[in-house]
Structure 1
């Protein structure tokens, strides 16, 4: 079934009355603890706290379910109303302030999406490196980087208003960016539709 990417119309930020969110038990996709092929990378949802904001989302690539180090990809809030794509290479989740981020494994992504020289380009030979804005080094990162383009923040404000509860755009932006990024991965055949379905349902909890 074809998936259509949609952009909601731009609307100004307004204040919304809080309402209870839907509560349900949502199971994440079933992911094998071992890679299906050599050099596949595990796509993980990183959920963390940033200052007063809880339930911030980012995407995280790592080599195994027990590896605390990987490549973090997210939409960064610069504090000036601007949101920019950022990549942190060889990011160690143990560096994060307590409480440490929660990690939910989503899917293995095949090595064909990362190129032949990913140790040099993606992993920078193990050196921690921050790119702001993020510079894609492979097909996977190129697809991810397309999310959050022109009109993105207008879509965020419109979605918050549609849902009928107050959610700071800083939180909504990172969650909706992850959903759009994964939607693009589904279109490209890198992950299954069950991953996108889980993220959409998880955000409504």
Structure 2
């Protein structure tokens, strides 16, 4: 993706008691990232792993360190702040797994529960029966569900649709 449109407008200062949810864009892959408020390169990566042939599976990588060389292959091409979300949706201690990096599939907070409910039932089953074919489609579906759950505003979904369409230009 050569040109990324401007992201949703965020307040100039961090609202109290909130966590920033960002979109990481890699070559051919999108993921949600929730950094630790005290260490922005360490956080939780939520994404769909797999491919269109084998299907997709929801994955959570806890205490994921964006600065480690093994997590830079390939590095994200964009880190886009999407929205500040009220702390009631998160459990930082459990999300960061006490600082131990681990891959997980079990949600530990309200935000992860909403994300984990979206069209991920297992390998070989794809996203759903509506023809979704990629992790990008899954990220958008998650955003729609987060809007329905009153976690995200509509502007996030609109932005994700815009950048998804820009990939095809």
List structure 1 runs of 4+ shifted beyond 4 angstroms.
Answer: none
Cα displacement (A) at 1:65: 10
What's the counterpart of residue 204 of structure 1? 165
2:25 counterpart residue number: 47
- The answer for the alignment partner of 2:45 in structure 1 is 72
Q: Contact 2:36 / 2:43 at 8 angstroms: preserved in 1?
A: yes
Q: Is the 8 A contact 1:34 1:64 kept in 2?
A: no
**Contact conserved, 1:78 with 1:84, CA < 8 A, in 2?**
no
User: Which residue does 1:97 correspond to in 2?
Assistant: 72
- Are 2:157 and 1:184 aligned? no
Question: How many residues align structurally?
Answer: 159
Q: TM-score, normalised by structure 1?
A: 0.69
Larger radius of gyration: 1
Residues 35-184 of structure 1 correspond to what in structure 2 (within 5 A)?
Answer: 35-38=14-17, 40-48=18-26, 54-64=27-37, 67-77=40-50, 81-95=54-68, 96-101=71-76, 102-115=78-91, 118-119=92-93, 121-131=94-104, 134-149=105-120, 152-155=127-130, 158=131, 169=133, 173-184=134-145
**5+ residue gaps, structure 1:** 1-20, 49-53, 160-168
Tell me by how many angstroms 1:64 deviates. Answer: 4.6
Structure with the higher strand share, 1 or 2: 2
Could you tell me how far 1:147 is from its partner in structure 2?
1.0
Q: Give the CA deviation at 1:92.
A: 1.0
Shift of 1:24: 7.8
- Contact conserved, 2:8 with 2:82, CA < 8 A, in 1? yes
Once the two structures are superposed, what CA deviation does each residue of 1:136-189 show, in whole Å capped at 9, x if it has no partner?
11111110001124672443xx35xxxxxxxxx4xxx11011001111111111
> Please, what TM-score do these two structures have when normalized by structure 2?
0.82
TM-superposed deviation, 1:124: 1.2
Number of the residue aligned with 1:29: 8
Q: Is the 8 A contact 1:73 1:86 kept in 2?
A: yes
Q: Which secondary structure does the structure 2 equivalent of 1:77 belong to?
A: strand
Give the deviation of 1:25 after TM superposition.
6.5
RMSD: 2.6
